[in-house]
Chain A
Amino acid sequence: MEIIVYGTINSVILSLTALGFTLVYSIARMPNFAHGALYITTGYLAWLFMNKFGSLPYPLALALAIGITAAIGALIYRFILIRIRGMEISEIIATYAIGLAILEGLRWGGLRGMTFTLPPFITGSMNIFGVSVDYQRLLIVVAGIGIFATLYLFTHFNKVGLALRGIAQDERAAMMLGIDSDMTAIISLALGSGLAGLAAVMLLPLGNIIVEVGYNVLIFAIAVSVIGGLGSWGGTILASFIIGFAQILTEAFLSSQYQMVVALLAIIITLLIKPSGIFGKQKELEERV
């Protein structure tokens, strides 16, 4: 039973981790390699607001941190990525360099050690089918479902959301209908960064705010996105569950040290069998040929 319970929790954690990365790619067709850095930035900002700048109440500190991270995402597009949009290699290099600068800048600025933590929203634990689970992890599952549902409603029933979907489906056709491509890219970067921030405030109370987590988050976001298919939301969820359960099964029946190997092995297998991922469409035609 613990495999089902913790497999589900691990899968939701992975999908939350990758959601922002997938959203940006699905709309702006940009791989945001600064995703992990934005994740950690949110955690650190929240910590600063709670502990250094005026000791703000927890919810306000989190909201402010997410808002600032979303704004950083928008600014990254407006001032840097807009100049290289469409040049895929340059996009990767630029976003990775931004992420590296942010993470190493934070380390240089004093984000080191284990004293940077965010408190859990609810402390304590309960038994689910005889398996002890802490409330924070349960909250993550509930919040994960809520975030996915909200995003679905936003992109299907909201004007801005529909515009984002329009750009994602056919950029030229959407532009002919008057949708501003750059503005949607700015919104997608802001939303993606905000989602990275939201994931951070949900997940960081389980551990510490440290620079290395930023790199790990990026690796898992890429793993999930590559396996599910870059830009595919359904693929992201499915891949999260595949990796999430594979990791828990590995820990239970093989050895916990191979958890990261499982994720990387899954990428290699996917690239060998279906390079565009489970639901990916970029190279579908070439794959069929």
Chain B
Amino acid sequence: MKNKLSHLLMVVLVVFCMPFTAFAQGKPIVIGAPLATAFLYGWDAERGIKLAVDEINAAGGVNVAGQKRPFKVEVIDTRDLEPSVPVADALLAMEKLILDKQADFIIGGPVRSEAALAAMPLLGKHKKVSILTTGVLTPAYGKAVAENYDKYKYCFRNTSHVPVMMGDFMAILNDLQQKHGFNKAYIMVQDVAHARAGGAYMQKALAGKKWEVEMKIYPTGTTDYSVGLIDSGKKGTQVLFLWMDMPESAALLQQWSNMKLKSLPMGFMNAAEQPGFWKATGGKGEFMIVNLVNGGNAPANITPWTMKFVNAYTKKWGLEPEGYGTSSSYMAVYQLKDAIEKAKTTDSDAVVTALENQDLMGVYGRMRFDKKTHQIIPSWDPKEGAVTGIIQWQAGKRVQVFPLKAAEGKILFPPWMK
């Protein structure tokens, strides 16, 4: 009887002590995640954030001036990637996170540029520190912070943006021009603002480097690209530059492969980012070079943390990091943790200062924010800054091919190009 009683006492003690030992015990720090959850850039960001939060909480939580506090995630669907959803709906979702869900910090979206730019005054009004991690590629975000610092100082972005991405592509194209004599490009973009702008930028930049360039714009939902592809073949195109975020664009690669066009496809293509792309195209997407915007969105050895993240993500979600928004959303939680711990408080202004002074080796390189624009500092060297993740589909795998200091393989050409 005495033995039974002592066992019972031990069980009671263990149950009562558990929350105070294994888990963080303070008031949760609420991370609001406004995301378009029905789309890749939304659901992969959500998974990245949740993975980081689980890891941090399992390790004891965030040390806020000696008190361990757990993170708690509140995800809200902004639906801002759906064509018919107005920007105001995304703002309402954001406001709900702040006022109703009592979010202390914002990580993730809004995902579409227009919505993210419109949300900046809201973040300033409520003094909520936000780290933008997915979707938005416009340089206007960082520019707005620089031009109106006092109002928008709470807004940070740890992903790349269009001018940086274009610079990365131009480096690859210059290399192809010098080594292989390529000088003819055919740009095929989707009829949406960011793709048209990206295509026009590339057209101008390539023309300036003495490339012969032509551009075609396709309506969202197009599944037949034959006329454009045949035209590109007739013109002796060596590079097909694509900028599309619609799933149907996988059909373009299938047609390109069937026609055995003597051109190398590359660009920013949502459909080709995901691990399922290979199966979806029956392997016809081989040789496609895709910009995943940040390193770590596909397996690579960029920093010692990269593969640890990739393996943890794969273990938790049953598939590799899927594309743009995954590694940056994961990393933002760690950046926030680091800033809170350094600031020793969750006060927004103190966290802003801590983020501005942050210098952290992360999943895709050295993470530092530009103090004026609050934009992550990019680099082609992971020891110096955040590196991109440009991969090529090779034999069913996404192989990092750029930047050279983080590359796992070389660019390959389709056998019919020889």
Contact = CB atoms under 8 A, between A and B. Distances in A.
A114 interface: yes
Report whether over half of chain B's contact residues are helix, strand or loop; otherwise say mixed: helix
A132 B260 CA distance: 9
Interface string A209-231: 01011001000000000000000
Interface in A102-120: 107, 112-115, 117, 119-120
A: contact size bracket: 35 or more
A248 B231 CA distance: 12
B250 A216 contact: no
Interface string B217-238: 1111111101110110000000
Contact of B38 (A107, A123, A256): A107
B414 to A, nearest CB: 15
A115 B279 contact: yes
Interface in B269-288: 270-271, 274, 276-277, 279-280, 282
Interface stretch (B56-64, B106-114, B251-259): B251-259
Contacts of A113: 40, 247, 274, 276
A142 to B, nearest CB: 18
A255 interface: yes
Contact of B258 (A134, A210, A212, A257): A134
Contacts of A13: 224
Interface string A108-142: 00001111010110011100000111100000000
Interface string A147-158: 000000000000
Interface stretch (A2-10, A23-31, A168-176): A2-10
A216 B282 CA distance: 25
Contact of B280 (A114, A123, A252): A114
Given A117-B280, A208-B247, A132 B258 contact: yes
B224 A10 contact: yes
Max chain A CB contacts within 10 Å: which of B258, B277, B279?
B258
Interface in A248-266: 248, 251-252, 255-257, 259-260
Nearest to A130: B230
B247 A114 contact: yes
A259 B282 CA distance: 28
Nearest to A126: B258
Contact of A255 (B217, B250, B279): B217
B39 interface: yes
Contacts of A134: 254-255, 258
Contacts of A183: none
B39 A112 contact: yes
Contact of B222 (A123, A124, A259): A259
Interface in A179-208: 206-208
Contact of B227 (A124, A213, A252, A260): A252
B277 A114 contact: yes
B381 interface: no
Contacts of A208: 247-248, 250-251, 271, 280
B219 A6 contact: no
A256 B218 contact: yes
A255 B219 CA distance: 10
Nearest to B272: A114
Contacts of A115: 274, 276, 279-280
Nearest to A253: B227
B216 interface: yes
B349 interface: no
B247 A210 contact: yes
Interface string B261-305: 000000000110010110110100000000000000000000000
A124 B284 CA distance: 11
A124 B40 CA distance: 30
B280 A206 contact: no
Contacts of A213: 221, 248
B216 A256 contact: yes
A131 B255 CA distance: 12
Given A2-B226, A119-B282, A260 B219 contact: yes
A248 B225 CA distance: 10
Residue among A13, A131, A134, A248 with the highest chain B CB neighbour number at 10 A: A134
B268 to A, nearest CB: 15
B218 A207 contact: no
Given A117-B279, A213-B221, A256-B227, 10 more contacts: A10-B224, A113-B40, A114-B277, A120-B282, A132-B258, A134-B255, A206-B224, A208-B280, A210-B247, A248-B227
13 contacts: A2-B230, A3-B227, A13-B224, A112-B39, A114-B276, A131-B230, A132-B258, A134-B258, A208-B248, A212-B221, A216-B221, A251-B228, A257-B218
Interface of A: 2-3, 6, 9-10, 13, 107, 112-115, 117, 119-120, 123-125, 131-134, 206-208, 210, 212-213, 216, 248, 251-252, 255-257, 259-260
